[in-house]
Structure 1
Amino acid sequence: MNATNGSQPRPTHEVVIVGAGLGGIGAGVALRRIGVENFVLVDKWAKVGGTWLANTYPGVAVDIPSPVYNFSFQPRSHWSRFFAPGAELQRYAEEVVDRQGLRGKLRLGSGVVRGVFDEERDVWRIALEDGTEITARYVIGAVGGLEQPHNPDIPGIGDYTGKIMHSSRWDHDYDYRGKRVAVIGTGATALQVIPELAKEVAQLTVYQRRAIWIGPKVDFPMGPAANAVLNFAPLQRTVRFVGNVGVNAGLGAGLAISNYPRLTSMGMTAAETAMKAFLFSQVRDPELRRKLTPDYRFGCKRPSISNSYFKTFTLPQVDLVTETIEHFTPTGVVSADGREREFDMVLCATGFKVMEKGYTPPYPIYGRDGLELGEFWDEHRFQAYQGVSVPRFPNAFLIVGPYAYAPGSYIPLIESTSAHAARVIGEARRRGATRVEVRQQPHDEYFARMDRRAKRTHLFTQGCITSNTYYINYQGDGAAFRPSTQLEMYWENRHFPLDDYRYTAAAVRELQDAAS
């Protein structure tokens, strides 16, 4: 590090952004808007894209309409489909990096293993996988919520000798064609991959713990005419606005109107009726329909859309097993009915560790007085002011923190929390501060408000607790979502009182300490 005026050294970077997915990219753009240029995006992967780089399983695609799933500062006017495949989203991330001039800010192929706040110098010390350390005045954590695979803890799984993989770590060197394949899980990922596997395998067995609510998917190729509309800026902005409102209403309406439980219940009943009708149109076998009908209310889990998922289970080579898995054997799986089925490959479409101890964040972070963030959250519950900042963790911000995400497209979330972090950093620069930390009172008030709202939503009042939804964590809290509209999320992250943070300078504190 280079010396500056006085005894305080200059950190390597003003800001380190951890993660080069869309969240990290959005944070980088927000920093450039306020004039910060000395920053770096660090990522364990060799390319940008985050979720859209890691998830390459057959059939992977965005479940938000493509014209909506892009940044306001760089809308994309050419998509292959209304719901674009995952590889196209990864290419979009590359396009944003290039157009926004972020290519030279990347440090890829070596992830973060530890972060420690140096209280004497007001800098973060970031240790990387390659053994090096970088320092920064500020750190922005942009590790996505769907990052750490949740591998099932099933007895004997380590003894299985066939091919086993998690959907987010797809092995493209393995040829599953003509093989006997099992899929564990029936969530959003399984919804996409199961129909694709069924086209190629000899036998497909799906182990379902709980059925999933599914509606039809209005998907189609985006031809020249549709893309021409998106290429006209006024129409494109209109499409993005209307689309975001619609997606937010579809995914988060029940959370936003939590003060009106009767209205919420009526809406859920209407949605359930429509989706049961869709299931009936796809599957005529009453026993199979029964198995594919959820035993929990609509909205307990993130709803999904597909035109091929239900029909796949009517194929002769596809079996749906609803008995619990008891254990693995070296060659297969034994279910609760005592039947053993042998497989060449087992795919774990079992989701991710969301708001779980040791995985959010996926590496230790030490703030003031040696406090570790994961341990703090485990002991005191997951919490963060506007989903961005936590007391006793100065100069640190989150893109997807507890109570940050108002359900809908992730893009408005990224732009909102990035704007929040950039606004605070910009104010600290203006005041000549070297340390900025959210005050306890506004943080506690936000946490109490979100917790109170969350506990009034259908997740806690309509029997969702037993649905195994990732919206409710192991502490019994709804920390994975913000019970509000995305409009509120957008507004509050841009207009919170700047004095909700405390701004101090290391040099001033040194003089005060010396005087005392």
Structure 2
Amino acid sequence: MRSSAMRTRTMPSAVIIGTGFGGLGMAMELLRHGFDDLVILERASAVGGVWRENTYPGAGCDIPSPLYSYSYAPKSDWPRRFSGQRDIYAYLRDVARDNGLLERIRFGSEVTEARFDDESGTWTVRTADGFQATTDVLISAVGQLSRPALPAIAGIGSFAGPAFHSAEWNHGIDLTGKRVAVVGTGASAIQFVPAIQPQVAALTLFQRSAAWVLPKPDVEYRPWHHRMFAAVPPVRLAERFAVWALCEFLSLGIADVPAIRGLVTTIAVNHLRKQVTDPHLRAKLTPDYPAGCKRGLFSNDYYPALTQPNVRVETTEIAEVVPTGVKTADGVLHEVDVIIYGTGFKGTEFLWPMKIHGANGRELEEEWQGGARAYHGISVPGFPNMFLVYGPNTNLGVGSIVYMIESQARYIRQALRELSRHPAHTLDVRRVVAEEYDRKLQARLDRTPWGLCSSWYRNAAGRITNNWPGAVVSYRLRTRTLRPERYRLTAAATTIAGQ
């Protein structure tokens, strides 16, 4: 990083925050195109993002690995079509090592504040460990699923036994023979409940709403698969394309072809009927909201685990947590030894708790009153030369977020190319452009089923801040080319003064 007095080079400098798929992908995109004045800040001691943090039993991805990986960093020897956490984490470590990123990462540096200087047109970034950097461009790649969310339940801190969130799994607790309460039935619970069910004495699953669960078309890749994928890349690419095409087809059901949701509903209902024969339990596990309102989940072992004699599905609302267990609204005390919260993440609190100050000292928190928003999920008016990876309204109901990240990284790289043509300048998306984009986006979101149920996609005001409402190819086309006329190009005041 360099000071404003040294800004004579044409290639802008950049600070990237985060080393998950977004941060590593962004860094590789810049380095491949000659932008080598960059540093990556990571709060932890290793790369990996959510795949470093989420180590709960059964953790894995619900998108097949041929698509849930970088297009320019293929892997021919995935153990399974749907990879587990360890394999995805190892992939990210390998990518960082093989692409020379490790020496550019400053580990143990949690960003606390970033402030734009109107005079120099640069950003100053500060971290909790006292590090400070001045840079031309600030790129946040902290994602949407980095901060675990605990439910607002009375007495949640009073439980006398071990209690933890699935994203902060306590591997020091032996669950063998324990009575375990699981609160939540989201994507994490779908995976860890079957993994721990055989070892616990009793498992009570507290379900607020049932999930739409689809069969998981998983396969184990044999050595001959690996040899074929390596020797004949078109075969691997064909599988990647097939997965992508299927996801695109299903995504059309979100806003454009509602009939597709009916097909998904039929598949999910048949899956439930096949795996759960008890009509009482099946009724509990039947969602009361339309398919697509929440992200569909994939599992072949979740329903079978719930049919086991040591498992009970409790649908009565939780009233409070007490020292000995969980008390429901009907007055029943469910005594347990361990509580595990599978209650997701604070997905609508983008960039929090970092303090971001843009032009004229304006706080990002103030800009985002009522809900986060950004042009293409990337640029925020009033925050020049700041770009977001996996920002507002770029999450997917169906599909691979890595595909979206690659689209965003290419777009941001074009922004840096524009800045390289105009040294000591800043790019700030025009407010009228951003507001018109957001208006049309929200109108399209109103046509989706996401507003029909409560989910992490919506903030407290009911605004859908997380998801992209449609096919990923439409997003890629929109971000294919940066349109400079939609941004304000401004020379730094110090540059003007020195002319």
Q: State the TM bucket, normalised to the shorter chain.
A: over 0.9
Matches within 5 A, 1:39-118: 39-118=38-117
Aligned to 2:249: 249
Aligned to 1:476: 462
Which string of whole-angstrom CA distances, capped at 9 and with x for unpartnered residues, describes residues 40-93 of structure 1? 111111111101000000000111011111101111111111111101101100
Aligned to 1:385: 375
Matched, 1:399 2:385: no
CA 1:395–1:364 in structure 2 vs 1: closer, same or farther (change >3 Å)?
same
CA 1:249–1:469 in structure 2 vs 1: closer, same or farther (change >3 Å)?
farther
CA 1:119–1:244 in structure 2 vs 1: closer, same or farther (change >3 Å)?
same
Amino acid of the structure 2 residue aligned with 1:108 = F
Cα distance in 2 for partners of 1:424, 1:115 equals 20
Cα distance in 2 for partners of 1:242, 1:425 equals 33
- SS of residue matched to 1:157: coil
- SS of residue matched to 1:319: strand
Aligned to 1:324: 317
CA 1:2–1:17 in structure 2 vs 1: closer, same or farther (change >3 Å)?
closer
Aligned to 2:448: 457
Cα distance in 2 for partners of 1:90, 1:213 equals 27
**Structure 1 position 229, deviation (Å):** 3.3
Task: Verify the 8 A CA contact 2:191 2:302 in the aligned structure 1.
Answer: yes
Cα distance in 1 for partners of 2:494, 2:2 equals 20
**Structure 1 position 448, deviation (Å):** 1.4
Matched, 1:491 2:474: no
Cα distance in 2 for partners of 1:224, 1:154 equals 49
Task: Verify the 8 A CA contact 2:252 2:260 in the aligned structure 1.
Answer: no
Structure 1 residues not aligned, in runs of 5+: 258-262
Structure 2 residues not aligned, in runs of 5+: none
Task: Verify the 8 A CA contact 2:430 2:486 in the aligned structure 1.
Answer: yes
CA 1:430–1:332 in structure 2 vs 1: closer, same or farther (change >3 Å)?
same
Aligned to 1:333: 326
| Root-mean-square deviation (Å) | 2.1
Aligned to 1:315: 308
- SS of residue matched to 1:480: coil
Task: Verify the 8 A CA contact 2:4 2:122 in the aligned structure 1.
Answer: no
Matched, 1:504 2:495: no
Task: Give the TM-score taking structure 1 as reference length.
Answer: 0.92
Task: Verify the 8 A CA contact 2:424 2:495 in the aligned structure 1.
Answer: no
CA 1:77–1:5 in structure 2 vs 1: closer, same or farther (change >3 Å)?
same
- SS of residue matched to 1:453: helix
Aligned to 2:237: 237
Matched, 1:372 2:358: no
Which string of whole-angstrom CA distances, capped at 9 and with x for unpartnered residues, describes residues 422-461 of structure 1? 110111111224311111222122111111111122334x
- SS of residue matched to 1:378: coil
Amino acid of the structure 1 residue aligned with 2:476 = Y
Report runs of 4+ in structure 1 exceeding 3 Å deviation. Answer: 1-6, 359-362, 507-512
CA 1:4–1:382 in structure 2 vs 1: closer, same or farther (change >3 Å)?
closer
CA 1:360–1:132 in structure 2 vs 1: closer, same or farther (change >3 Å)?
closer
Cα distance in 1 for partners of 2:33, 2:2 equals 24
Amino acid of the structure 2 residue aligned with 1:442 = V
Cα distance in 1 for partners of 2:248, 2:375 equals 22
Task: Verify the 8 A CA contact 2:120 2:494 in the aligned structure 1.
Answer: no
Cα distance in 1 for partners of 2:221, 2:202 equals 34
**Structure 1 position 256, deviation (Å):** 4.7
Cα distance in 2 for partners of 1:446, 1:282 equals 44
**Structure 1 position 131, deviation (Å):** 2.1
CA 1:33–1:445 in structure 2 vs 1: closer, same or farther (change >3 Å)?
farther
Cα distance in 2 for partners of 1:349, 1:2 equals 44
Aligned to 1:361: 352
**Structure 1 position 387, deviation (Å):** 0.6
Task: Verify the 8 A CA contact 1:433 1:503 in the aligned structure 2.
Answer: no
The percent of aligned pairs where both chains have the same amino acid is 37
- SS of residue matched to 1:162: coil
Cα distance in 2 for partners of 1:325, 1:27 equals 43
CA 1:2–1:382 in structure 2 vs 1: closer, same or farther (change >3 Å)?
closer
Cα distance in 1 for partners of 2:79, 2:122 equals 45
Cα distance in 2 for partners of 1:88, 1:248 equals 25
Amino acid of the structure 2 residue aligned with 1:420 = Y
Task: Verify the 8 A CA contact 2:161 2:323 in the aligned structure 1.
Answer: yes
Aligned to 2:423: 432
Matches within 5 A, 1:410-421: 410-421=401-412
Cα distance in 1 for partners of 2:63, 2:330 equals 39
Amino acid of the structure 2 residue aligned with 1:16 = V
- SS of residue matched to 1:90: helix
Cα distance in 2 for partners of 1:349, 1:4 equals 47
Aligned to 1:260: none
**Structure 1 position 184, deviation (Å):** 0.2
Amino acid of the structure 1 residue aligned with 2:116 = F
Cα distance in 2 for partners of 1:253, 1:436 equals 34
Task: Verify the 8 A CA contact 1:34 1:426 in the aligned structure 2.
Answer: no
Cα distance in 1 for partners of 2:2, 2:289 equals 59
Which string of whole-angstrom CA distances, capped at 9 and with x for unpartnered residues, describes residues 138-167 of structure 1? 111001111111111111111111101011
Cα distance in 2 for partners of 1:404, 1:289 equals 34
CA 1:77–1:348 in structure 2 vs 1: closer, same or farther (change >3 Å)?
same
How many residues align structurally? 497
Aligned to 1:226: 225
Cα distance in 1 for partners of 2:2, 2:23 equals 27
Task: Verify the 8 A CA contact 1:404 1:481 in the aligned structure 2.
Answer: yes
Task: Verify the 8 A CA contact 2:121 2:424 in the aligned structure 1.
Answer: no
Cα distance in 1 for partners of 2:218, 2:86 equals 17
CA 1:367–1:80 in structure 2 vs 1: closer, same or farther (change >3 Å)?
same
Task: Verify the 8 A CA contact 2:119 2:494 in the aligned structure 1.
Answer: no
